[in-house]
A and B are shown apart, each in its own frame.
Chain A
């Protein structure tokens, strides 16, 4: 497993990266942690002529709080995310998710931005970003723009990102008051993609669910926001019956592939089981 030859660039600034990507357009790929792209290159399923390494761009790094929101630089590694105490207190679901991605060495290199951006339905962060209603800050030669995660995913490995653009940061709004969130993942072993996984966040008011968001991993060509499932819970008391109804609604929007993780009907049902478990954990954390 040997990659095909390419030219390598390691720009220091975002504008430099953009001009390199722009100059070589279709034949260029940006690389961050490389743990999705390099295996693809070794299998020669990806054969970019030009590889633009974002790893040396200081502006893409770092985790910071801005008001109630948190901003994650795109090349923040999963390990850096896990180690950030402030973020773990404010948005524990991010750490919980990151710890379920791959293994220590992969988390040391793999970036949050890469996980969110590359459009692999098996990646875990997209569902979390859908659930948390994150926004992706995008830079291109035409200027900067912001894309809501909920509008970003178009199909397997197809996103709203235009050629030559890169995501520079991910902005996560403050969660509602009294919210709890959880990411529950069923996988065959460490390092595996999810058979099915669910992110859920809900807040409670007077013992009733006031807000709710649910998103699913790896049970369709993209991560899915389960809007109807979440909407059905508003005003309901948290509990097995309500969560079962939400799980059924979530299952209804899935479109999983049959593969080594199991046949379609199993993976669909697992999406439901993961939703139930994520909701139960989220409700408990919300104090319900």
Chain B
């Protein structure tokens, strides 16, 4: 099968690769780049386990072809912590609030929450629930995920206030 050259940025690093046009972005990330954080749960763009950030938006990488990401700037769960390894407030909050159990939806859920908090830094509970409605979790019943995102929002707000002072 003829392959196409693509060039993109993944977690801040330049990536060049050859892909079949039909290669789904999730398979490209998981198998060619060995970024196995994002998962495949439903394959029909309902569960959001494959959520990554692409050009400033959350996308379901099972419903994007890798060729469509040519030139894109991608961020995955592996690129969320600071370069020195310091975890993002969301990663800490999900643990602190027991916002995960089996962990399978977690990378997609956190990446969606990460984008949500940039779209809306102070979301209400209802706004969080609406904002993560594209991500299914089978274990937690969402309540602690909502808490975690709320808490992370407060932490981030506190940190930026501190920085401004």
A and B touch in the complex (CB under 8 A): yes
Chain B residues, CB < 8 A from A6: 21-22
Question: In this complex, what residue of A is CB-closest to B42?
Answer: A1
- Chain B nearest Cβ from A114, distance in angstroms: 13
Contact partner of A104 (CB less than 8 A), chosen from B64, B70, B116, is B116
Does B134 contact A103, Cβ atoms closer than 8 Å? yes
Does B21 contact A51, Cβ atoms closer than 8 Å? yes
Does A34 contact B64, Cβ atoms closer than 8 Å? yes
Does A103 contact B133, Cβ atoms closer than 8 Å? yes
Q: Is A148 an interface residue (CB 8 A)?
A: no
Instruction: Kindly supply a per-residue 1/0 record for chain B positions 107-146, scoring 1 wherever the CB is within 8 Å of any chain A CB and 0 otherwise.
Output: 0000010001000000000000001111100000000000
Contact partner of B57 (CB less than 8 A), chosen from A3, A34, A53, A108, is A108
Q: Is A102 an interface residue (CB 8 A)?
A: yes
Chain B residues, CB < 8 A from A1: 43-44
Question: In this complex, what residue of A is CB-closest to B108?
Answer: A105
CA distance A108 to B64 in the complex (A): 12
Does A106 contact B133, Cβ atoms closer than 8 Å? no
Does A39 contact B68, Cβ atoms closer than 8 Å? no
Chain B residues, CB < 8 A from A79: 57
**Which of B45-53, B96-104, B148-156 contacts its partner?**
B45-53
Contact partner of B48 (CB less than 8 A), chosen from A38, A41, A103, is A103
What size tier do the contact residues of chain B reach?
20 to 34
How many of A's residues come within 8 Å of B, CB to CB? 28
Does A105 contact B134, Cβ atoms closer than 8 Å? yes
Q: Is B67 an interface residue (CB 8 A)?
A: yes
Does A109 contact B64, Cβ atoms closer than 8 Å? yes
Q: Is B58 an interface residue (CB 8 A)?
A: yes
Does A190 contact B133, Cβ atoms closer than 8 Å? yes
Chain B residues, CB < 8 A from A191: 46, 133-134
Those of B1-45 within 8 Å (CB) of chain A = 1-2, 4, 20-22, 24, 43-45
Does B51 contact A105, Cβ atoms closer than 8 Å? yes
CA distance A276 to B45 in the complex (A): 32
Contact partner of A53 (CB less than 8 A), chosen from B58, B68, B116, is B68
Chain A residues, CB < 8 A from B131: 104
Those of A108-149 within 8 Å (CB) of chain B = 108-109
Question: In this complex, what residue of B is CB-closest to A189?
Answer: B133
CA distance A105 to B45 in the complex (A): 9
- Chain A nearest Cβ from B17, distance in angstroms: 15
Chain B residues, CB < 8 A from A190: 133-134
CA distance A8 to B65 in the complex (A): 10
Question: In this complex, what residue of A is CB-closest to B21?
Answer: A8
A10-B67, A109-B60 provided; 9 other pairs, C-beta below 8 A? Answer: A2-B24, A5-B22, A8-B21, A39-B63, A55-B68, A103-B133, A103-B134, A105-B60, A108-B58
Residues of A whose CB lies within 8 Å of any CB of B are 1-8, 10, 34-35, 38-39, 41-42, 51, 53, 55, 79, 102-106, 108-109, 190-191
Could you pull out 6 A-B pairs where Cβ atoms are within 8 angstroms?
A1-B43, A2-B22, A3-B22, A6-B21, A6-B22, A191-B133
